[in-house]
Amino acid sequence: MSDLSVANNASKAGFDVAAVRRDFPILSQQVNGKPLVYLDNGASAQKPVAVLDAMDRYYREMHSNVHRGAHSLGDRATTAFEGARETVRRFLNAESTRQIIWTRGTTEAINLVANGLAPRLREGDEILVSHMEHHANIVPWQMVAERTGARVVPVQVHPNGELDLDSFNSLLGERTRVLAITHVSNVLGTVNPIAPLIEQAKARGVITVVDGAQAVPHFRPDMQALDCDFYTFSSHKLFGPTGIGVLYGREQLLEEIPPYQGGGEMIERVSFERTTWNTLPYKFEAGTPAIAEAVGLGAAIDYVEGLDRQAMEAAEAALLTRANDLVGTVPGMSVIGTAQNKVPVLSFKIEGLHPSDIGTLLDQQGIAIRTGHHCAMPLMDFYGVPGTARASFAFYNTLEEVDQLFTGLQKIQRLFA
């Protein structure tokens, strides 16, 4: 635990959702005259007091620029900042903090990797992604493909939202250079079997990049067990602040690929004749970093790691089971994404209703969900829909809130369908 951590109501023994909810002040408010039911955690999760206090304390007691070593305050800020990096290393079970790069989020991390790998890509090379990727794991590769003559090739998805492994096996080939795949789909909730995919890709010398944005809020990925080349996530979906995220990378590859941005901090020596790069991880961290945000993310990880993980995962599974059980109570409702292995995310449509109307009408009842294409337009095309409504649950959601969602949907269906 970092010295910025504070006492939480939640404890390690068992899982008391009422106690957990007291750690998230934003949840106990009224929205549109109704108690807030926050079911948009896939877009961004709420923050426990531990995170708010850690950032507040950082600014009140220790803010200064980092890595300057000129005075005591700077030392304190640097210790807090690098302490957070160590917390991330521990969370991911990475071997070294040299492998933990701060970015602005998943999007920036994937752009960093795609640009870093660009010099290795040639005309006709293939970058394998999946049909269920977020745009953040499609567009940076398309931009790099445009520059290099490589091609972005999507692995197909089964109608139930599981990855089509036959498609993967047939597409992973001689020309594949990169496999860039999501660990968990933000639309479908599908948990992809990335360990065997990484193993197969590695056996062919293919570089593996995993988008963990929707995985880390629900379970802890182990870098040494997965053995991927790159893994990335955003703090704000993991109960931490916005504006910061993480890129984990294999050390040798991080040494080899060029920096993403130039400026202060990322250099060893600058002259007009020749500039050399700083050591890892600083080579990829140009400019003053998001220091308070790093501290906040460290506190968020400490908070989540302070919970009884097994009990938390069981509580989340119960939320999904309850939601699935209630689908039949809303006439015309159907779920998109029914994979065997999925996190508590429910994308759905209701016959005769536009997803954005569902979202607006639920909001009037204090229930926050997301509607639209979820930054996954190719997947929407696959299902032949312009968008879906999506309820995405976190460990602080209750079974009563699931019931409220369905009571709300029943009302809307009766009124408008």
Active site residues: 375
Q: Give the C-alpha separation, 185 to 381, whole Å.
A: 15
15 or 231: CB nearest ligand PLP: 231
Closest separation in Å from C-beta 42 to ligand PLP:
6
Closest separation in Å from C-beta 103 to ligand PLP:
8
Closest separation in Å from C-beta 389 to ligand PLP:
16
Number of Cβ within a 10 Å radius of residue 262: 13
Which segment (74-82, 207-215, 282-290, 331-339) binds ligand PLP by CB under 6 A? 207-215
Q: Give the C-alpha separation, 65 to 131, whole Å.
A: 42
Q: Is 370 in the site for ligand PLP (CB under 6 A)?
A: no
214 or 397: CB nearest ligand PLP: 214
Q: Out of 39, 99, 105, 152, which residue is the one contacting ligand PLP (CB under 6 A)?
A: 105
Question: Side chain identity at 198, as an amino acid letter?
Answer: I
Contacts of 337 (CB under 8 A, 6+ apart): 160, 161, 185, 187, 188, 189, 190, 345, 346, 347
Closest separation in Å from C-beta 381 to ligand PLP:
17
Q: Is the sign of the CA dihedral 293, 299, 303, 306 positive or negative? A: positive
Closest separation in Å from C-beta 36 to ligand PLP:
21
234 or 388: CB nearest ligand PLP: 234
Q: Give the C-alpha separation, 143 to 157, whole Å.
A: 23
Which CA distances in Å does 350 have to 383, 384, 400?
Answer: 14, 14, 22
Per-residue contact flags (x/-) with ligand PLP for residues 115 to 154, judged by CB under 6 A: -------------------x-xx-----------------
85 or 374: CB nearest ligand PLP: 374
Q: Out of 46, 78, 87, 107, which residue is the one contacting ligand PLP (CB under 6 A)?
A: 107
Whether residue 338 contacts residue 161, with contact meaning beta carbons closer than 8 Å, is answered with yes
Q: Give the C-alpha separation, 107 to 127, whole Å.
A: 17
How many residues bind ligand PLP, per CB under 6 A?
12
Closest separation in Å from C-beta 407 to ligand PLP:
27
Residue 248, both tokens: 């984990």
188 or 307: CB nearest ligand PLP: 188
Closest separation in Å from C-beta 195 to ligand PLP:
18
Residue 166, both tokens: 């036959």
> Taking the mean position of all CA atoms in its chain, how far away is CA 293?
16
Which segment (101-109, 277-285, 311-319, 354-362) binds ligand PLP by CB under 6 A? 101-109
186 or 404: CB nearest ligand PLP: 186
138 or 257: CB nearest ligand PLP: 138
Q: Is 214 in the site for ligand PLP (CB under 6 A)?
A: yes
Q: Is 213 in the site for ligand PLP (CB under 6 A)?
A: yes
**3-class secondary structure, 345:** strand
CB environment 358-387: b (16+ within 10 A), e (fewer): bbebbbebbbbbbbbbbbbebbbebbeeeb
> Taking the mean position of all CA atoms in its chain, how far away is CA 307?
19
Give contact residues for ligand PLP (rule: CB under 6 A). Answer: 105-107, 134, 136-137, 182, 186, 211, 213-214, 234
